[in-house]
Amino acid sequence: MNLSEINNILEGLGISKENPGSSTGKEFFGAGPKIVSHTPINGQELASVTQTTREEYEAIMAKSDEAFKVWRTMPAPKRGEIVRQYGNKLRENKDLLGRLVSLEMGKSLQEGWGEVQEMIDICDFAVGLSRQLYGLTMHSERPSHRMYEQWHPMGTVGIISAFNFPVAVWCWNAAIAWVCGDVCVWKPSEKVPLCGIACQNIFNEVLEENNLPEGISCLVNGGVEVGEWMTQDKRMPLISATGSIRMGKIVGQAVAARLGKTILELGGNNAIIISEKADIESTLVGAVFGAVGTAGQRCTSTRRLIIHESQYDNVIAALKKAYGQLRIGNPLDMNNHVGPLIDTLAVEQYEKALAAIKEQGGTMIVEGEVLQGDEYSSGCYVKPCIAEVENHYAIVQHETFAPILYVMKYKDLDEAIALQNGVPQGLSSAIMTTDMRESELFLSAAGSDCGIANVNIGTSGAEIGGAFGGEKETGGGRESGSDAWKAYMRRQTNTINYSKEVPLAQGIKFDL
Ligand code: NAD
């Protein structure tokens, strides 16, 4: 990677060295202090954006409110057409935007492109959905009455996103919210602000080409303070927040205090059960990709392997071999499997976790370390590692956002399911087995307690067609496919009397 390559990526997406960080669409504002973005690949400064000021925030909220009044009355399929056009712009920009994701966040180029593909996929899904925002009709208990329900737009949806999916998570929310008739204000993670500018620039082209009001897609930038303006703002009936459990507990309480709604997409502690009936070869691909892909910085990353005692030695030997072959380095180089962590703070967390594993009684099977040398000059590269642990250790109960894989043994499947469920989080889970009884038990009401439960594929790499999210401390929210759209709308029950009589429900008599 050299400077001219970086400049080509930034320029191609309309990003300057210094960018105003607040936008209503057509207009950008930039009076606030700078947030400087560095690539974790080599620590180089990329560009800066300004943090949103309170005045800018108020101007944005006023525009978003105005835009909502227009957008909510546009027929849903027409809104779908706008999302279709956005999806097409993303197709045109897939290469550059994928490169920017990789550059700013540090995930592999394949995964950067994959993230943009997810944006395209959710746009396609949303276009179809725009003709399928179905409500039920019910039979009234009263004669000559009709009952049905409608789904109406809610207003401004506040989207707060995490650093690890700097573009896709926003689009999962925004594409669905838009066809539902909502407008969006997005605060990307302060660790990846340039990705937000790029997505907004691409949306602006669609806005202009269709002569739509600004305010349908707004951008704010900043950290906790700007996030708190959103969570405390009654003008945002829904806050969709993706990030750590620590953040989700604060955001959930702040929004609940004003009786607003939330979609919370928080941390995971995802396990794969490897049964005695597992096909070990295919198990390994899912397990290793799950554990080291995005350098262990996916909410669905595989954190724990719960291995049947009869397979344990085999699996450990195969894992050691696979980890020995991992290439760690510049994620833009497609020969590498593992890129950097997001920043040196994340490296500190990794080191603390390694110390805690040893203190709490764990044994390293593949040692971890912070990598040194020219190729690793940003100080953000760490070696994926494996530790043999017990599930109850405090460090195992906690999500460390790094490529640390815990392994443990089990004797029977009930014990394995209890271990899998025995953590505070409930996002993704999987079983590797060729035995139908085992897989059905795992998927039953007495099985996995997670929002996602897979058979013979790993814990990460969900498709947009399903509802995405998890239980317990993962927050309970659902985004993306299935009927997740319902969270972005308000339901209205309508009862219509087409007779001259006024019979009351439950047969109540009230004569005047
Ligand atoms: P983080 O919690 O540090 O930050 C996430 C976002 O919340 C950022 O935009 C941040 O500015 C904002 N924020 C932080 N405190 C806030 C507050 N008090 N009020 C309002 N906003 C606030 O998380 P991160 O380090 O960026 O991301 C990693 C975490 O995200 C991991 O725990 C990961 O599992 C989780 N994650 C979950 C999902 C999911 O769908 N379940 C997806 C991606 C990431």
- What pLDDT, in 10s, does the model give residues 94-106? 999 999 999 999 9
Test site for ligand 1: of 164, 167, 294, most ligand atoms within 8 A of the Cβ: 164
Query: Is position 84 within any domain?
Result: yes
Cα angle 357, 361, 366 (rounded to 5 degrees) comes to: 55
Q: Rounded to whole angstroms, how far apart are CA atoms 164 and 299?
A: 8
Which residues lie across from 35 on neighbouring strands? 49
Amino acid, res. 15: I
Mutation pick for ligand 1 pocket among 122, 232, 242 (CB with most ligand atoms within 8 Å): 242
pLDDT digits (tens, 9 = 90+) for 128-184: 999 999 999 999 999 999 999 999 999 999 999 999 999 999 999 999 999 999 999
Give me ligand 1 centre to Cα 165, in Å.
10
**Ligand 1 lined by 265 (C-beta under 6 Å):** yes
DSSP characters for 4-59?
A: HHHHHHHHHTT--SEE--EESSS-EE--SPEEEEE-TTT--EEEEEEPPPHHHHHH
> Which H/E stretch holds residue 370?
none
2 pLDDT higher than 90? no
For residue 148, is it within any domain?
yes
Amino acid at 398: H
Q: Give me the sign of the Cα torsion angle 113, 118, 123, 125.
A: positive
Q: Which tokens hold the place of 386?
A: 């494996």
Specify whether 326 is located in the same domain as 255: no
10 Å Cβ neighbour count for 318? 17
Cite the active site residues.
265
- For ligand 1, whether the C-beta of 299 sits within 6 Å is yes
Q: Whose CA is nearest to atom 43 of ligand 1?
A: 299
The CB of 242 under 6 Å from ligand 1? The reply is yes
My answer on whether 253 and 169 are in the same domain is yes
Question: Which pLDDT does position 5 carry in this prediction?
Answer: 87
- Considering the domain architecture, whether residues 186 and 292 belong to the same structural domain is answered as no
Judge whether 76 and 131 are in contact, CB under 8 Å.
Answer: yes
Question: 504 lies in a domain?
Answer: no
Domain ranges, residue 452? 270-468
pTM: 0.98
C-alpha 59 – ligand 1 centre gap (Å) = 25
- Examine the domain organization and report whether 147 and 163 are in the same domain: yes
User: What mean pLDDT comes out for the span 218-231?
Assistant: 98
Question: 193 alpha carbon to ligand 1 midpoint, in Å?
Answer: 14
* Tally of CB atoms within 10 A around 501: 9
DSSP secondary structure string for all residues of 447-470: S--SSEEEESS-SS---TTSEE--
244 C-alpha to center of ligand 1: Å? 4
Q: Is 346 in the pocket of ligand 1 (CB under 6 A)?
A: no
> Are 261 and 324 part of one and the same domain?
no
Q: Which of 244, 429, 472 to mutate to test the pocket of ligand 1 (most atoms within 8 A of CB)?
A: 244
At 231, the pLDDT band (50, 70, 90 cuts) reads very high
Residue reference for tokens 């906690």: 398
Q: Report the distance separating Cα 456 and Cα 461, nearest Å.
A: 13
CA proximity to 400, closest of 350, 361, 360: 350
Q: Whose CA is nearest to atom 35 of ligand 1?
A: 243
- Average pLDDT estimate for 286-297: 97
Tell how far the Cα of 331 is from the centroid of ligand 1, in angstroms: 23
| Range 194-214 average pLDDT | 97
* Rounded Cα distance, 314 and 312, in Å: 6
* Residue 56 sits in the same domain as residue 193: yes
Same domain, 254 and 308: no
Task: Record the tokens describing residue 458, joined without a space.
Answer: 């790993």
* Ligand 1 close to Cβ of residue 186 (< 6 A): no
Question: Could you read off the pLDDT of 241-252 as tens digits, one per residue?
Answer: 999 999 999 999
CB atoms within 10 A of CB 108: 22
What are the strands, taking DSSP E only, across 336-473? Answer: 363-366, 385-388, 404-410, 425-426, 428-432, 452-455, 467-468, 471-472
- Using CA positions, which residue lies closest to atom 21 of ligand 1? 227
pLDDT at 462 over 70: yes
The amino acid occupying position 502 is V
Q: 310: which residues sit within 8 A by CB, 6+ positions away?
A: 276
Q: How far apart, in whole angstroms, are the C-alpha atoms of residue 231 and residue 251?
A: 6
Nearest Cα residue to atom 11 of ligand 1: 223
Query: Are 119 and 347 in contact, with CB atoms under 8 Å apart?
Result: no
Does residue 151 share a domain with residue 127?
A: yes
Distance 127 CA to ligand 1 centre (A): 28
Of 101, 105, 263, 299, the one to substitute when testing ligand 1's pocket (max ligand atoms within 8 A of C-beta) is 299
> Counting beta carbons within 10 angstroms of the beta carbon of residue 429, is it exposed (0 to 12), middle (13 to 18) or buried (19 or more)?
buried
* Residue 1: per-residue pLDDT: 65
Q: Using an 8 Å Cβ cutoff, are 329 and 41 in contact?
A: no
Q: Would the pLDDT of 188 be above 90? A: yes
Is the ipTM higher than 0.95? The answer is: yes
Cα 420 from Cα 429, distance rounded (Å): 8
Sign of CA dihedral 426, 223, 346, 96: positive
The proportion of the chain whose per-residue pLDDT surpasses 70, expressed as a percent, equals 100
Q: Phi and psi of 503, rounded to 5°?
A: -70, 140
Is 508 among the domain residues?
Answer: no
In a domain, 505, yes or no: no
Is the pLDDT at 328 greater than 90, yes or no?
A: yes
Q: What is the mean pLDDT of residues 467-488?
A: 98
The Å distance, Cα 65 to ligand 1 centre, comes to 26
Cα–Cα distance measured from residue 72 to residue 467, given in angstroms and rounded to the nearest whole number: 24
- Give the pairing of strands 428-432 and 270-274: parallel
* Number of other residues whose CB lies within 10 A of the CB of residue 225: 10
* Ligand 1 closest atom vs CA 254: 19
Pick the closest to residue 56 from 33, 35, 29 (CA basis): 29
Portion of the chain with pLDDT greater than 90, in percent: 97
| H helices present in 293-393, as ranges | 312-324, 344-359
Residue 167 in 3-state DSSP? coil
**Distance of alpha carbon 259 from alpha carbon 493, whole angstroms:** 21
Residue 277 has pLDDT above 90, yes or no: yes
Is the minimum distance from the CB of 474 to ligand 1 under 6 angstroms? yes
Residue 35 lies in a domain: yes
Say if residue 327 is in the same domain as residue 228: no
* HSE-CB for 222 with a 13 A CA cutoff: 21
Count of structural domains within the chain: 2
pLDDT in tens, 388-416: 999 999 999 999 999 999 999 999 999 99
Same domain? For 281 and 225 the reply is no
Are residue 257 and residue 276 in the same domain, yes or no? Answer: no
Is residue 314's pLDDT more than 80? yes
Give the chain's largest Cα–Cα span: 89
Tell me, what CATH number does 206's domain have? 3.40.605.10
Asked whether residue 19 is domain-assigned, the answer is yes
* Helical pair 280-292 and 312-324, crossing angle rounded to 10 deg: 50
Question: How many other C-beta atoms lie within 10 A of the C-beta of residue 436?
Answer: 10
pLDDT digits (tens, 9 = 90+) for 162-172: 999 999 999 99
Whichever domain contains 336, its CATH number is 3.40.309.10
**Average pLDDT of the chain, as a whole number:** 97
What pLDDT digit, counting tens, does each position of 4-14 carry?
889 999 999 99
User: Which of 305, 269, 297 minimizes the C-alpha distance to 406?
Assistant: 305
Ligand 1 atom index nearest CA of 342: 25
The answer to whether residue 507 sits within a structural domain is no
**Confidence check: pLDDT of 266 > 90:** yes
Exposed (0-12), middle (13-18) or buried (19+): which is 385, by Cβ within 10 Å?
buried
Whether 9 and 137 map to the same domain: the answer is yes
What single-letter DSSP state applies at residue 164?
S
